Amino acid sequence: MPTEPLPIARANTGMSVVDAAGEAVGTVSAVQQPGTDVRPDAPPGEAERLMATGYLRVDVAGLMAGDAYVGGDQVADVSEADPGVVMLAVLRDALARAN
């Protein structure tokens, strides 16, 4: 029985990211698939969760500029149309911030 790949598997650098309310969050600057050995610059505990679920590093625009991390379990869908968009299942305030 075929299964659909996780939405994070369709994400690529340069894609726009919007949160669950449709608000722009920023742009994907890195993609790490689930089970990665690449540790994000996130607080202990959170970094391990991100590594297990896979994660996107997002260059956040606006007042909260900087980097944030989106866990693979926080990605609702990915539109691969040009331009591609990553749609989140959470609001931007729920994202892990880089240290």
pLDDT value of position 77: 96
3-state secondary structure 58-82: EEECHHHCEEEEEEHHHEEEEECCC
Tell me, what's the pLDDT at 64? Answer: 63
Per-residue pLDDT of the chain (99 residues; tens, 9 = 90+): 457 788 999 999 999 999 999 999 999 999 999 999 999 999 899 999 999 999 999 999 766 678 999 999 999 999 988 789 999 999 999 998 887
Output the pLDDT for position 5.
Answer: 80
pLDDT at 84: 93
**Backbone angles phi and psi of 2, in degrees to 5:** -65, 145
Six-digit token string for 61: 């625009």
Rounded Cα distance between 79 and 87, Å, is: 8
pTM: 0.90
Residue 89 is classified by DSSP as S
Confidence at residue 81, expressed as pLDDT on a 0 to 100 scale: 84
Q: What SS3 state is found at 73?
A: helix
* Residue 44, strand partner residues: none
**The pLDDT value given to residue 17:** 97
